[in-house]
Structure 1
Amino acid sequence: MIPAYQRKRRRKVAEINVVPYIDVMLVLLIIFMATAPLITQGVDVDLPQASAEPLDSDSKPPLVASVNAQGEYFLDNGTVDENKPLQLDELAALVAAELTVDPERPVVVNGDRLVTYDVVIQLMITLQGAGVPSVGLMTEPGE
Structure 2
Amino acid sequence: MGAQTIQRSGGGGRRRRRGRAAAMSEINVTPFVDVMLVLLIIFMVAAPLLSSGVPVELPETAAGALPQDDERPLTLSITEDGSVVLLDTPITREELIPRMRAIAAERTSNAVFLRADGSIPYQDVAQVMGALNGAGFNQINLVTSAGGPTLDGASAPAE
Does residue 139 of structure 2 align to residue 134 of structure 1? yes
Q: 1:105 to 1:125 in 2, by over 3 A?
A: closer
Assess if the C-alpha contact under 8 Å between 2:110 and 2:137 holds in 1.
no
1:5-59 deviation per Cα after TM superposition (whole angstroms, max 9, x unaligned):
xxxxxxxxxxxxxxxxxxxxxxxxxxxxxxxxxxxxxxxxxxxxxxxxxxxxx66
Give 1:96 deviation, angstroms. 1.1
Who is 1:118 aligned against? Answer: 123
Structure 2-normalised TM-score? 0.46
Of 87, 92, 97, 1:87 maps to 92
Identity of aligned residues (%): 28
Give 1:63 deviation, angstroms. 1.1
What letter corresponds to residue 136 of structure 1 in structure 2? N
Q: 1:89 to 1:139 in 2, by over 3 A?
A: same
| Whole-angstrom CA distance in 1 between matches of 2:104 and 2:89 | 22
| Whole-angstrom CA distance in 2 between matches of 1:102 and 1:114 | 31
Does residue 86 of structure 2 align to residue 75 of structure 1? yes
Q: Which has the higher contact order (CA 8 A, sep 6+)?
A: 1
| Whole-angstrom CA distance in 2 between matches of 1:75 and 1:83 | 5
Greater gyration radius: 2
Gaps of 5+ in 1: 1-57, 77-81
Assess if the C-alpha contact under 8 Å between 1:60 and 1:106 holds in 2.
no
Structure 1-normalised TM-score? 0.50
Give 1:93 deviation, angstroms. 1.5
Q: RMSD across aligned C-alpha pairs, in angstroms?
A: 1.7
Assess if the C-alpha contact under 8 Å between 1:88 and 1:126 holds in 2.
no
| Whole-angstrom CA distance in 1 between matches of 2:116 and 2:82 | 9
What letter corresponds to residue 87 of structure 1 in structure 2? T
More strand by share: 2
Who is 1:60 aligned against? Answer: 71
1:44-92 deviation per Cα after TM superposition (whole angstroms, max 9, x unaligned):
xxxxxxxxxxxxxx6632211111111111111xxxxx253x2223122
Moved segments of 4+, more than 2 Å? 58-61
Does residue 105 of structure 2 align to residue 100 of structure 1? yes
What letter corresponds to residue 60 of structure 1 in structure 2? E
Assess if the C-alpha contact under 8 Å between 1:62 and 1:105 holds in 2.
no
